[in-house]
């Protein structure tokens, strides 16, 4: 039981830090809000010129899709990567190594702490945007709404897995900035954050299907809208779970290798 | 007597020219030192460049996917929208590669390091502009120019020497506007005392709006990016001119004037802010 307490207090501390140093959070929010508003105008114009549906999406559905993507993008920001990599670069991990805690679990607790705050802020901003643009499509039905929450939780686990692995590269590189930007660019294409994957040609969709990124946005958004049939939804949730676990293991392996590298450098 | 006056003005003009050339020289000397610091981490700067290319490819994939389904957005074609995005990227690249220092200003002011710049016999604006190098900018510039080149091949208008010259003037003006906006927003740090001023990022992100034709926005958003923070003159109006879109191309000719206006305003805002500056700890 004391195990859980340790990590819970880490999560709480991390949330408090977010409140004190709002800079990273606000920066991320600003970056995405203008983008989302621009997207809303762009799609509004497109749907005005093409009434009905595009690739199976109506305008209210597209609005809902964009907001779900915005919401999920607001959780676990690049700020987490930055903090983790700074800890590694500046050697503060040495302190973590001496503590009776699991590094990955501690970082997970730290990343999860601010999530409720990030979620509520994004929801508030999203609600304003949705109201200005005349409402969005609601979840297909209560079952899909419940499944949507499950997919969101799994999507966040997958995102943490990726963010953690990317942070680990800080052990081997002198700067992580370029890697983080690359990660975000690739993720934006293949997660469906920029545009629903159904708009892409078969080749790109094929690549997206075998990458973990679609589990982060496409799956939750399509579940919300009820675009997938029952068995497919369950299969996609299974895929999310697969990536969540797989990436967590990959992160652990990277950490184990990295710690060896640290010993060499320091000794 | 008249000859003396004429000689006087001539030597004053010559002195100004020497001073301006000295500023440019000093700027490149400062920048060169930053270059050396970055080149020390070779792998890092290659990854940074590569990341900028990836970001652009992601943006291109998005535009392309949309235009696979529809022929035009509000009358704007694929290559016109690509041109707008590419102009935003190229000018951002110029900003990062040559004038990244504006992003460090709030940190310098916060830590008091800015004082060093004030005691040196070089304009603080030149020192701020040359204060850092962002190598990701090189990736943006190269990819952006490739896209502009391809977009140009799809312009339905006849290329005359005058038009080519105008394209060059528009590109220089667009980059100038971008850098002036950066400098002006960075100067906000003289009013807001925090290691992380939000204003520059806030203003920078407004550029997102200018990646798409301004005709898709409400009047309020249009006013914001045409008048308040003239990002529309970085991408939209130059594109309209180059593609000969009649309704908007005349405004494209205003771009060089907007560039001059933006620089004058940025320098003025910076100077006003500098007058307020009291080193940290006061």
**Domain boundaries, given as residue ranges, for chain A:** 2-266
Using the Cβ of B89 and the Cβ atoms of chain A, whether some distance falls under 8 Å is answered with no
Tokens standing for residue B19: 């001073």
Cβ distance B208 to A23 less than 8 Å, yes or no, reads: no
**pLDDT for the residue A4:** 81
Using the Cβ of A185 and the Cβ atoms of chain B, whether some distance falls under 8 Å is answered with yes
Residue B72 burial by Cβ neighbours in a 10 Å radius (0-12, 13-18, 19+): middle
Q: What is the mean pLDDT of chain A?
A: 86
Using the Cβ of B228 and the Cβ atoms of chain A, whether some distance falls under 8 Å is answered with no
**pLDDT for the residue B193:** 67
**pLDDT for the residue B194:** 66
The SS3 call for residue A229 is coil
Q: Within A50-102, where are the H helices?
A: 59-74, 78-89, 93-98
Residues in chain A: 267
Task: Give percent of chain B with pLDDT exceeding 70.
Answer: 92
pLDDT band at B6 (very low <50, low <70, confident <90, very high): low
Q: What is the mean pLDDT of chain B?
A: 85
The CA distance from A265 to A89, in Å, is 12
Tokens standing for residue A132: 């200005």
Q: Does position B232 have pLDDT exceeding 70, yes or no?
A: yes
> How confident is the model over B9-37, as pLDDT tens digits?
667 778 888 888 888 888 888 778 777 77
Residue A256 burial by Cβ neighbours in a 10 Å radius (0-12, 13-18, 19+): exposed
Let me know the angle formed at the C-alpha of A186 by A181 and A187, rounded to the nearest 5 degrees.
95
> How confident is the model over B89-144, as pLDDT tens digits?
999 999 888 888 888 888 888 778 888 888 888 888 888 888 887 777 888 899 99
**pLDDT for the residue A267:** 41
**Element (H or E) spanning B52, and its range?**
helix B42-69
Q: Does position A185 have pLDDT exceeding 80, yes or no?
A: yes
Long-range contacts of B184-187 (CB under 8 A, 24+ apart): B184/B262, B184/B265, B184/B266, B184/B269, B184/B270, B185/B102, B186/B102, B186/B103, B186/B105, B186/B106, B186/B128, B187/B105, B187/B266, B187/B269, B187/B270, B187/B273, B187/B274
Q: Does position A3 have pLDDT exceeding 90, yes or no?
A: no
Query: What are the residues facing A54 on neighbouring strands?
Result: A57
Residues of chain A contacting B201 with CB distance shorter than 8 Å: 27, 30-31
Shortest distance, CA A31 to any CA of chain B (angstroms): 6
Tokens standing for residue B137: 């900018």
Tokens standing for residue A207: 């690549």
CA atoms within 13 A on the CB side of B173: 26
Cβ distance B136 to A181 less than 8 Å, yes or no, reads: yes
**pLDDT for the residue B7:** 62
pLDDT band at A147 (very low <50, low <70, confident <90, very high): very high
The SS3 call for residue B281 is coil
Tell me the average pLDDT across B228-249.
89
pTM of the model: 0.85
Residues of chain B contacting A34 with CB distance shorter than 8 Å: 205-206, 208-209
Q: Higher confidence at residue B174 or residue A97?
A: B174
User: Shortest CA distance to A42 belongs to which of B66, B104, B39, B237?
Assistant: B66
The SS3 call for residue B156 is coil
Q: Does position B178 have pLDDT exceeding 90, yes or no?
A: yes
- Which single residue is written with the structure tokens 């206006």? B261
Q: Euclidean distance between the first and final Cα of chain A, in Å? A: 36
The CA distance from B87 to B42, in Å, is 28
Specify the DSSP class assigned to residue A212. Answer: G
Residue A154 burial by Cβ neighbours in a 10 Å radius (0-12, 13-18, 19+): buried
Residue B62's region, left for phi above 0, alpha for psi from -120 to 50, else beta, is alpha
* Cβ atoms A199, B68 nearer than 8 A: yes
Residues of chain B contacting A173 with CB distance shorter than 8 Å: 43-44, 47
Contacts of A160 (CB under 8 A, 6+ apart): A76, A108, A111, A112, A247
Q: Does position A66 have pLDDT exceeding 90, yes or no?
A: yes
Q: Give the Å distances, CA to CA, from B116 to B113, B142, B281.
A: 6, 35, 15
The CA distance from A82 to B81, in Å, is 33
Specify the DSSP class assigned to residue B132. Answer: -
């Amino acid at each position: 039981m004391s195990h859980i307490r340790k990590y819970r207090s880490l999560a709480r501390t991390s949330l408090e830090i977010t409140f004190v140093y709002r800079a990273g959070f606000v920066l991320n929010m600003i970056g995405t809000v203008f983008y989302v508003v621009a997207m809303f105008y762009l799609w509004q114009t497109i749907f005005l010129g093409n009434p009905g549906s595009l690739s199976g999406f109506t305008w209210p559905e597209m609005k809902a899709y964009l907001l779900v993507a915005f919401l999920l993008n607001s959780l676990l920001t690049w700020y987490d990567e930055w903090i983790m990599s700074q800890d590694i670069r500046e050697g503060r991990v040495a302190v973590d190594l001496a503590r009776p805690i699991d590094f990955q679990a501690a970082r997970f607790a730290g990343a999860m702490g601010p999530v409720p705050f990030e979620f509520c802020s994004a929801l508030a901003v999203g609600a304003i945007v949705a109201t200005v643009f005349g409402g969005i499509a609601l979840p297909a039905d209560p079952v899909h709404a419940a499944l949507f929450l499950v997919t969101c939780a799994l999507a966040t686990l997958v995102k943490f897995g990726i963010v953690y692995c990317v942070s680990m590269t800080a052990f081997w590189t002198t700067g992580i900035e370029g890697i983080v930007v690359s990660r975000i660019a690739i993720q934006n294409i293949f997660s469906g954050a920029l545009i629903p994957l159904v708009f892409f040609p078969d080749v790109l969709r094929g690549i997206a299907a075998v990458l973990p990124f679609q589990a982060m946005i496409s799956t939750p958004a399509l579940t919300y809208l009820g675009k997938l049939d029952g068995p497919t939804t369950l299969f996609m949730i299974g895929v999310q779970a697969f990536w969540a676990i797989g990436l967590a293991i990959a992160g652990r392996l990277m950490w184990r290798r990295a710690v060896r590298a640290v010993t060499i450098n320091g000794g | 007597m008249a000859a003396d006056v004429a000689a006087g003005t001539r030597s004053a003009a010559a002195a100004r020219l020497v001073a301006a050339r000295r500023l440019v020289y000093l700027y490149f000397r400062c920048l060169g030192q930053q270059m050396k610091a970055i080149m020390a981490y070779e792998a890092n700067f290659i990854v940074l460049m590569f990341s900028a290319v990836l970001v652009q490819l992601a943006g291109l994939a998005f535009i392309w996917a949309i235009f696979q389904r529809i022929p035009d957005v509000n009358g704007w074609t694929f290559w016109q929208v690509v041109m707008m995005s590419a102009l935003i990227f190229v000018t951002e690249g110029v900003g990062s590669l040559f004038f990244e220092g504006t992003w460090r200003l709030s940190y310098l002011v916060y830590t008091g390091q800015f004082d060093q710049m004030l005691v040196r016999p070089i304009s603080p604006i030149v020192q701020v502009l040359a204060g850092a190098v962002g190598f990701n900018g090189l990736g943006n510039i190269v990819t952006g120019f490739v896209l502009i080149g391809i977009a140009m091949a799809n312009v339905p208008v006849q290329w005359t020497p005058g038009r080519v010259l105008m394209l060059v003037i528009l590109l220089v003006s667009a980059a100038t506007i971008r850098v002036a906006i950066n400098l002006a927003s960075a100067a906000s740090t003289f009013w807001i005392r925090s290691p992380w001023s939000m204003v520059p990022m806030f203003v920078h992100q407004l550029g997102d709006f200018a990646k798409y034709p301004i005709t898709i926005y409400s009047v309020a958003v249009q006013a914001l990016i045409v008048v308040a923070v003239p990002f529309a003159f970085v991408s939209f109006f130059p594109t309209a001119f180059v593609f000969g879109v009649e309704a908007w191309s005349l405004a494209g000719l205003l771009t060089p004037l907007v560039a001059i206006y933006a620089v004058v305003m940025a320098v003025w805002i910076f100077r006003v802010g500098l007058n307020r500056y009291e080193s940290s700890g006061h």
